[in-house]
């Protein structure tokens, strides 16, 4: 049996620092759990532009198509702000998503009990929160045609087109229903069917997929603006939320802040199954490259660590090992360890990026 393959693209800013802590955990699994990965590395973003004049080489893109999963750190930084749009660091990430056809973006919003006081909402509203937003990632208003800025009479007009096909809605709906079956068996679909034809089609198709293929899963529908309000009022009413590209962008960012820190939030972008049955997949922390703290040991590696936990669960069918890693993170936080982004409690001293990674490894040792 061949080892599962993983391509690491650490990227820019704090990306290499947080990815170094994930490498410790990958090594731990090989040494202590006899779970070995074939790991290769490449460049993406600004560092790839510096080395090759492009944010993603064709060779790295081809490798990403071959491996079982890609783990990405972060891209970008102010030194690249004046580059032509076509070679900005972010274009490398967008190319990965588009060419791998990663249509389902999974963004969990989980609030660990030890961090419930960091949320802007009351503790009883967010303590124990564990929801998943499934955002359609490769279509919708960000990709629809026509688009652009045009002259119309004596003024300019900006145009973006919201466009979805039935098949695009069907496949992301199936991803949400399958995910719900592994969780609490509830899906809430969000759109604006009251004012948008694309929203009406979305609602009809999601309902059809449910009735024909997933009648065992509880399905509800909600207008996206009402959904945003309910996320702030009582987020624990939700389990899995499925929505389009634009609303998913907005709602997942709102849900992210319920947990208190972007440094805690992982994500997964999944595509169609490959020949081995595993979905094409890219895992990355939600946070950016944070160039202002790069190289200072202040970055929180937990989002990147939890992104690897998602890879264990969704790409490698190692749910029990994903649980082990997530519980190790929870234990470290319960023990009071905090990186700089999580300070705020009296008497708490920050630990470094490396110290946090070491603590998670120690908690993994204790789990054996």
List Cβ neighbours of 288 (8 Å cut-off, separation of 6 or more): 13, 74, 76
Q: Give the integer Cα–Cα distance in Å for 12 and 74.
A: 6
Catalytic residue (choose from 27, 101, 130, 253): 253
- Write down the H helix ranges in the chain: 15-32, 46-52, 58-66, 89-99, 123-126, 166-181, 197-213, 224-233, 245-256, 302-314, 319-334, 353-366
Active-site residue, 253 included = yes
Q: Give the integer Cα–Cα distance in Å for 199 and 55.
A: 35
Q: Give the integer Cα–Cα distance in Å for 68 and 2.
A: 11
List Cβ neighbours of 86 (8 Å cut-off, separation of 6 or more): none
CB 67 within 8 A of CB 2: no
Q: Give the integer Cα–Cα distance in Å for 160 and 88.
A: 22
| Residue 223: Cβ-neighbour burial (10 angstroms; 0-12, 13-18, 19+) | middle
Catalytic residue (choose from 130, 142, 208, 327): 142
Active-site residue, 192 included = yes
Looking only at the bridges linking them, the beta strands covering 266-273 and 279-285 are antiparallel
Looking only at the bridges linking them, the beta strands covering 5-11 and 69-74 are parallel
List Cβ neighbours of 49 (8 Å cut-off, separation of 6 or more): 55, 80, 83, 87, 89
Active-site residue, 214 included = no
Catalytic residue (choose from 50, 101, 130, 225): 225
Catalytic residue (choose from 12, 68, 249, 341): 249
217 phi and psi angles, rounded to 5 deg: -95, 135
**b vs e for 309-331, b when ≥16 Cβ sit within 10 Å of the residue's Cβ?**
bbbbbbbbebeebbebbbebbbb
Q: Kindly report the CA angle at 177 between 139 and 169, in degrees rounded to 5?
A: 25
Residues labelled as active-site residues: 142, 192, 225, 249, 253
């Amino acid at each position: 049996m061949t080892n599962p393959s993983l391509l690491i693209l650490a990227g820019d800013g704090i990306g290499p620092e947080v990815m170094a802590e994930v490498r410790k955990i990958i090594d731990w699994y090989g040494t202590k759990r006899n779970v070995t990965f074939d790991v290769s590395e490449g460049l993406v973003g600004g560092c790839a532009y510096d080395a090759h004049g492009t944010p993603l080489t064709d060779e790295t893109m081809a490798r990403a198509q071959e491996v079982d999963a890609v783990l990405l750190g972060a891209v970008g930084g102010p030194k690249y702000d004046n580059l032509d749009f076509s070679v900005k660091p972010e274009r490398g990430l967008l190319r990965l998503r588009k060419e791998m056809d990663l249509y389902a973006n999974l963004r969990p919003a989980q609030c660990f009990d030890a961090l419930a006081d960091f949320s802007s909402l009351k503790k009883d509203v967010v303590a124990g929160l564990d929801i998943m937003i499934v955002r359609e990632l490769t279509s919708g208003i960000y990709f629809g045609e026509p688009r652009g800025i045009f002259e119309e009479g004596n003024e300019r007009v900006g145009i973006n087109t919201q466009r979805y096909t039935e098949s695009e809605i069907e496949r992301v709906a199936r991803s949400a229903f399958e995910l719900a079956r592994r969780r609490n068996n509830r899906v809430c679909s969000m759109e604006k069917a009251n004012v948008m034809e694309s929203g009406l089609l979305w609602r009809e198709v999601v309902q059809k997929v449910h009735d024909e293929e997933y009648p065992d899963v509880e399905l509800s529908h909600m207008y996206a603006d009402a959904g945003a309000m309910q996320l702030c009022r009582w987020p624990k009413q939700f389990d899995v939320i499925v929505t389009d590209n634009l609303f998913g962008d907005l709602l997942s960012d709102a849900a992210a802040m319920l947990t208190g820190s972007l440094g805690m939030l992982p994500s997964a972008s999944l595509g169609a199954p490959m020949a081995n049955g595993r979905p094409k997949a890219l895992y990355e922390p939600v946070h950016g490259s944070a160039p202002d703290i790069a190289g200072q040991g202040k970055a929180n590696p937990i989002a990147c660590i939890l992104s690897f936990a998602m890879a264990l669960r969704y790409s490698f069918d190692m749910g029990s090992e994903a649980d082990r890693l997530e519980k190790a993170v929870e234990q470290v936080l319960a023990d009071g360890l905090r990186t700089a982004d999580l300070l705020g409690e009296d008497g708490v001293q920050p630990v470094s990026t490396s110290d946090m990674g070491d603590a998670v490894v120690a908690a993994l040792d204790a789990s054996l």
